[in-house]
Structure formats: structure tokens, C-alpha cells
Chain A
Amino acid sequence: LAKTTQPISMDSYEGQEVNITCSHNNIATNDYITWYQQFPSQGPRFIIQGYKTKVTNEVASLFIPADRKSSTLSLPRVSLSDTAVYYCLPGDSNYQLIWGAGTKLIIKP
């Protein structure tokens, strides 16, 4: 199972683009990279998933380089409501996900 390293915390300001990078040096060939968001007192919520290159949806983009040893979650024009913990999860199945400490993102006005 791929071990991940991501910053424990990050600060940014409203309207800025935020990039959170996660390293997963021993990612397996079959692993996808999934990111979840968790607000206080709520369960985690799926944000985005990708295998390689770039994936974009209505809330975020995910950049994965060719070697797939890292991935970057990009949140465009953040708002206060984006303050949350963000988890990077490599894996090929839901039941093999290892949830690390995540990155606590604090958005300031």
C-alpha cells in the first residue's frame, strides 16, 4: 500500500488558488489517486480522482505527473467555506484506502 506525505497544514486567502501536493513514491501500477475533503463534524466527501495527467471537475483539478509519484490538488479561487482537511488516497479499491492525517487548509478573509 502506498504511503503518502502531504503538508500537515496550509493557509491561504479568499480568492487565491490553492495547490496541495501529496507524494506517494511507492504507488502501485493499479492505484488511482483519490482526494477527499472533510469539514468539522462531518464525514469525508469525495472531491476528485485520477490516474495520470490532469483531471478537472466542477470543484477542483488534479495534476499527476508521468511518474505518478506525486499528485497536486488544485482549488481555484478558494472561499472561507473551503476550510477543511484534505486527504490524498492512492489505492485500487475502497477497502484498501489508508487515511493519513491529511492537510488542514485554513482560508482567511
Chain B
Amino acid sequence: DAGVIQSPRHEVTEMGQEVTLRCKPISGHDYLFWYRQTMMRGLELLIYFNNNVPIDDSGMPEDRFSAKMPNASFSTLKIQPSEPRDSAVYFCASSSTSGGVQLTGELFFGEGSRLTVL
């Protein structure tokens, strides 16, 4: 498997523009997570899905952020409108807790999308 695939790898945009980040989880994984990483706040969980259903979005900073998972192989994180403080690396991760060796399920991360909002 190719692993978790994220796009774009880098995005530079101007304040007020809409940003859409995309993620393809590992096939067969039933959990999908969106994280944000900054120097100041470290790695923060924004939202996670189980079987395509959003379970906990309490980490989403505000209404400008939204996430969807229309099917098991695709998820998006949208920021509208974007602001400079949204600049960060956004990671998508997936995991499977069925049939795995590790009881809490190993998280497999993508390479991240580095967002810069000017």
C-alpha cells in the first residue's frame, strides 16, 4: 500500500481565500484523523472519523474549519476564509483497530500539507 496520501504538499494562499486539503487513507482503515502542527502548539487533533462518520470535532478551532469524509477512501479539510494564524502543517492519519497487533491501533500519518496564509 502507498500509505496515507495527502495533497497538496505545500500551499501558499492569501488571507480570505478558501483552502481545501485532501487525504486518502490506507485502504481498509476505519479511522481517519486530521491533525494540525505548529511550533507553538505542537500536534493537535482537529477531528476524527470512524467508518466515514465524524465522531469528535471538538478540536476544530472555529466555524471556518470543516471536514468531510464522503467515502472510505477520501477526506477533505476545508478552511474558509483562511487567516494567517491558520498557517501550519496539517496531517492526516488513519488506523485500523481490527485485526491489528497493537491494541490501541497504530496511527499511520501522511507526509502533511504545509499551509502558509499570507
Chain A complexes with chain B: yes
A residues apposed to B, CB below 8 Å:
32, 34, 36, 41-46, 49, 87, 91-95, 97, 99-102
| Minimum distance in angstroms from B16 CB to a CB of chain A | 27
B104 CB contact (under 8 Å) in A93, A100, A101: A93
Interface size range of chain B in the complex? 20 to 34
Pair B104/A43 contact, Cβ less than 8 Å: no
**9 nearest CB pairs, A to B:** A43-B109, A99-B43, A46-B106, A43-B91, A95-B48, A94-B105, A49-B102, A32-B104, A94-B95
Residue from the list B91, B93, B104, B109 in contact with A92, Cβ < 8 A = B104
Contact B31–A95 (Cβ < 8 Å): yes
Contacting pair B95 A43 (CB below 8 A)? no
**Inter-chain contact B112/A43, CB cutoff 8 Å:** yes
Number of A-B contacts (CB under 8 A): 60
Cβ of B108: which chain A residues have Cβ within 8 Å of it?
46
Q: Does B61 contact A (CB under 8 A)?
A: no
Q: A43-B111, A99-B43 are in contact. List 13 more A-B contacts (CB 8 A).
A: A34-B102, A42-B112, A43-B91, A43-B109, A44-B91, A44-B107, A44-B109, A49-B102, A49-B104, A94-B105, A95-B33, A95-B55, A97-B107
Q: Which residues of A contact B111 (CB under 8 A)?
A: 41-43
Verify if B110 is at the interface (C-beta below 8 Å from A): yes
List B contacts of A36 (CB < 8 A): 107
- Do A99 and B109 touch (CB < 8 A)? no
Given the interface pairs A94-B95, A95-B56, A100-B42, the reply to whether A45 lies near B102 with Cβ below 8 Å is: no
Contacts of B42 in A (CB 8 A): 99-102
Residues of A within 8 A of B112 (CB): 41-43
Asked whether any CB of chain A lies closer than 8 Å to the CB of B45, the reply is yes
- Residues in chain B near residue A49, CB distance under 8 A: 102-104, 106
Inter-chain contact A94/B33, CB cutoff 8 Å = yes
> Which residues on the A side are within 8 Å of B43 (C-beta)?
44, 87, 99
A sample of 6 cross-chain residue pairs with beta-carbon separation below 8 angstroms, ordered by A number, consists of A32-B103, A32-B104, A43-B4, A94-B31, A99-B44, A100-B42
> Chain B residues with Cβ under 8 A from A97's Cβ?
45, 107
